Amino acid sequence: MPADPYPFEFDPATTALVIIDMQRDFVEPGGFGETLGNDVSWLQAVVPPLQIVLATAREVGLTVIHTREGHVPDLSDCPPAKLNRGDPSLRIGAPGPKGRILVRGEYGHDIIDELTPLPGELVIDKPGKGSFHGTSLGAELAELGITSLIVTGVTTEVCVHTTVREANDRGYECLVLSDCVGSYFPEFQRVGLEMISAQGGIFGWVAPSSAFLSALT
Ligand code: TIU
């Protein structure tokens, strides 16, 4: 299929759709992300195209993996370097508008209704920005024989980038769908995507979801 910086080849049998951190606290109005002063409309724009990609992936039987960023309730999996950031009243574990911020089991931590995982789809709870650090993702992908990842979700320059970088170092081919990843900052979105495909595809490929859907169906 056409992609930047050159065509991306994939076999659906060894490819997974990865949907990163489409959680209420990052995406929805009134959530943690908005509380930090971010404009969530940039992230909400990702939902409709991602719904189409998810529905199509399910139709053709692609492996679907969801991730959620968050911590166990006693925060024992949250290092001080991550915990002690920013305004104490808005820190991880503090009471937020949709439950304790980034704590597993809280309403705001869960995935938005539009993209609710189906039974049988893998949901990876991750303590970090990357999806491999501190999770079973690498082992699960090896078990499934997955070698290529179609990467979507939020935010482009944070958890999407960290995951793509982790995946690249582990030998996975990564295609990032440009309209299915979002940032609170338009300039980070643009540059974040450019950074992936620059230098001959230093971390992977970038293409719009329309190109991926054409290749898949
Ligand atoms: N999922 C993810 O990207 N976590 C973040 O904290 N992102 C921000 O941009 N803050």
**173-182 and 95-96 as β-strands: parallel, antiparallel, unpaired?**
unpaired
Reported ipTM: 0.97
Point out the ligand 1 atom lying closest to the alpha carbon of residue 184.
9
Is the pTM higher than 0.95? The answer reads: yes
Q: What is the pLDDT of residue 89?
A: 82
Tokens, residue 193: 């995507």
Each residue of 14-24: pLDDT tens digit? 999 999 999 99
pLDDT surpassing 90 at residue 86: no
Query: Cβ(4)–Cβ(178) under 8 Å?
Result: no
Judged against a pLDDT cut of 90, whether residue 203 lies above it is answered with yes
In this prediction, residues 80-93 reach a mean pLDDT of 89
Q: How far is the CA of 129 from the centre of ligand 1 (A)?
A: 7
The catalytic position among 126, 129, 174, 180 is: 126
Q: Packing angle between helix 47-60 and helix 209-216, nearest 10 degrees?
A: 10
**What letter represents residue 18's amino acid?**
V
Q: Exactly one of 4, 21, 25, 110 is catalytic; which is it? A: 21
Average pLDDT over residues 137-142: 98
155 touches ligand 1 (CB under 6 Å) = yes
Amino acid identity of 141? Answer: L
- At residue 154, the pLDDT reads 98
To the nearest 5 percent, what fractions of the chain are helix, strand and coil?
40, 20, 35
Question: CB pairs under 8 A, 24+ apart, for 183-191?
Answer: 183/42, 183/43, 183/154, 183/155, 183/156, 183/157, 184/33, 184/38, 184/39, 184/40, 184/42, 184/43, 184/155, 185/42, 185/157, 186/42, 188/155, 188/156, 188/157, 189/42, 189/156, 189/157, 191/157
Place of tokens 């679907």: 64
Does ligand 1 come within 6 angstroms of the Cβ of 92?
no
Active site residue 98: no
Pocket test for ligand 1, best of 23, 26, 83, 112 (most atoms within 8 A of CB): 26
CA 184–ligand 1 middle distance (angstroms):
9
pLDDT tens-digit map of 87-107: 888 899 999 989 999 999 999
Ligand 1 centroid to residue 154 C-alpha, Å: 7
Residue 35 has pLDDT above 90, yes or no: no
Q: Based on the number of CB atoms within 10 Å of its own CB, is 48 exposed (0-12), middle (13-18) or buried (19 or more)?
A: exposed
Q: How far is CA 177 from CA 96, 153, 172, in A?
A: 31, 9, 16
Report the C-alpha gap between 131 and 207 in whole angstroms.
21
Which pLDDT score is estimated for 31? 86
- Of the residues 78, 159, 174, 180, only one is catalytic, namely 159
- What is the structure's pLDDT at 30? 86
- List the single range of 61-65, 86-90, 145-149, 187-191 with lowest mean pLDDT: 86-90
Q: Locate 100 and state its tokens.
A: 């304790």
On whether the CB atoms of residues 183 and 157 are closer than 8 A, the answer is yes
Q: Is the CB of 57 under 6 A from ligand 1?
A: no
Average the pLDDT over 27-37 and give the result: 89
∠ Cα 80 65 101 (to 5°)? 35
- To the query of whether residue 180 is one of the catalytic residues in this protein, the response is no
